[in-house]
Structure 1
Amino acid sequence: MSALALSVLLSLVSAVAYAGGAIVQERVAETSPASAYAPLRRPAWWGAGCLNGLGALLHVIALAYGPLSLVQPLGALTIVLALPMSALLVRRRAGATAWRGAIMATAGLAGLLALTGSPSEQSLDGTERLVVGLITAGAVLVLMTSARAAHRHPVVRSVLLAVAAGGAFGMASVFTKSVAEDWSGSPVTQLSSLLAIAALATT
């Protein structure tokens, strides 16, 4: 199996793991008492966390074998896969609107991959990583603050948090790819990037 094919396979399995984790977390949240920490007392919640951790690990390995321009968009399949998986696992059928959204997401992903050219071997240097990291952190902070202020508007709040999470996850992948390409055998030389990845991935 070629490195590119392996990266695609790992990305797909990662998307399945993420989708499974999201389904379980949603189910636990719906069936738990109205308390902020109630889900934490459910073993299923921690099982979902393990699925998310597996998805993240497979995503990182996929980045080591394939280009960021391929691996990152494939992560969007989590949204598409969650619909049939939810119907199969928890007997929840998605409505027509959800399926239209999934079809549009798939079409958009196909178009993005079709327009993606040959991957560049250039990676971010130390200064560029610092600038990008600070800009991303600032943008995520603004979005999260705005979401908190919009607590009376659940839809707006959800969109703001989704954009913040998506941006943080995407930049974590950029840093991960840079670390994988520039790895010298000593984690000390990549400490700042590793800390940035940890902060972005847990946002």
Structure 2
Amino acid sequence: MTVLAAAIALIGSLFFALGAALQQFEALGSGKTRLRTLVRRPRWVIGGASIVAGGGLHIVALGLGPLTIVQPMGVASLLFALPLAAALHGRRPSRAELGSAAVVAVGLIGLVLLVPPSTGPSHLSLQEVAILLAVSGVAAVLLWAGSRIASPAGRAALLATSAGVLYGATATLMRVLADTFGEQGWNWWYLLALPVPALLALMLLQRAYAVGHFGVSFASLQIADPLTAVAFGALLLGEPLPTGVAPIAAAALTAVGTVALARTTPLERSA
């Protein structure tokens, strides 16, 4: 079952990577990154369906195998996404680009595996939901504001990080919703709050993709999303944070790899 879980998670990562590459290709070529423009593009919609399929396969894999096996397979999407995106743009990824992505993946795997497992069901009051939305919203706005004065690579990283923060908030709400469903049914406050950060994150991510540095934006998203979820878990749910030197070393690897990606990934032009 563990081997099956790893295989399913790996296939899910491939679907997720393919979806991200397709959406970036369309966001870059559309000229406008408004969702109402992008949803009319069949390839962008197919990319979204591929991402949903990848997420579903990841959930199935988590039900079949241990987190320590499934999560590293999920991080592999970064290594799949770069060659797929490069192929769509008619080029081959360089060794330096793939090497930088591998450094990010190793650091991110370390961070994911070092986070202590959550214990027990999660609950958020209406006030705590408001805090989650406010904190993630302010962080996203500040990152978006910084992107307006940054270099192209910096802009892609900041916009994708902003999207990752909002996706992390969405993941926290979804987790709490799933934990409380069996006890008290659907919590309508959670359901009403859920689309807000998810839609804003989707819009910001398309803007990041439209910049042209796909490797930087995708890596930044892969880092910001889980780390934000971990931070909210500690802030609002009282979950423990990793301690010691190992998390610092893993974080340093992800930072070094992302900077290297910014230097090695070419600025792609509109398709």
* TM-score computed with the length of structure 2 as normaliser: 0.57
1:139 equivalent in structure 2: 136
Are the aligned partners of 1:124 and 1:178 in contact in 2 as well (CA < 8 Å)?
A: yes
**Is structure 2 residue 201 aligned with structure 1 residue 168?**
no
Amino acid in structure 1 at the alignment position of 2:45: W
Cα-to-partner distance string for 1:89-139 (whole Å, 9 max, x where unaligned): 66531123321221112221343355345x333232233x75266235433
Q: Secondary structure at the match of 1:184?
A: helix
* Partner residue of 2:191 out of 189, 194, 197: 194
Amino acid in structure 2 at the alignment position of 1:179: L
1:120 equivalent in structure 2: 118
**Higher relative contact order (CA closer than 8 Å, sequence separation 6+):** 2
Cα-to-partner distance string for 1:159-196 (whole Å, 9 max, x where unaligned): 222222222223333332333333227643x2222334
Instruction: Pick closer, same or farther for the CA change 1:116–1:13 going to 2, 3 Å.
Output: same
- Select between 137-146 and 62-71 the one with higher mean Cα deviation: 62-71
Are the aligned partners of 1:11 and 1:71 in contact in 2 as well (CA < 8 Å)?
A: yes
Are the aligned partners of 2:13 and 2:77 in contact in 1 as well (CA < 8 Å)?
A: yes
- 1:1-203 paired onto structure 2 within 5 Å: 1=1, 6=5, 8-32=6-30, 34-36=31-33, 39-61=38-60, 74-86=73-85, 91-117=90-116, 119-127=117-125, 130-131=127-128, 134-148=131-145, 150-153=147-150, 154-184=152-182, 187-188=185-186, 190-202=187-199, 203=201
Q: How far 1:19 moved relative to its partner? A: 0.9
Q: How far 1:82 moved relative to its partner? A: 0.7
Instruction: Pick closer, same or farther for the CA change 1:74–1:179 going to 2, 3 Å.
Output: farther
Residue identity over aligned pairs, in percent, reads 28
CA distance in 1, matches of 2:129, 2:67: 16
Q: How far 1:51 moved relative to its partner? A: 1.5
Q: Secondary structure at the match of 1:126?
A: coil
- Select between 140-149 and 154-163 the one with higher mean Cα deviation: 140-149
Structure 1: state its 5+ residue gaps: none
Are the aligned partners of 2:75 and 2:109 in contact in 1 as well (CA < 8 Å)?
A: no
Instruction: Pick closer, same or farther for the CA change 1:82–1:173 going to 2, 3 Å.
Output: same
Query: In the comparison of the two structures, how many residue pairs are matched?
Result: 197
Cα-to-partner distance string for 1:72-94 (whole Å, 9 max, x where unaligned): 66543322221233456665311
Q: How far 1:62 moved relative to its partner? A: 5.1
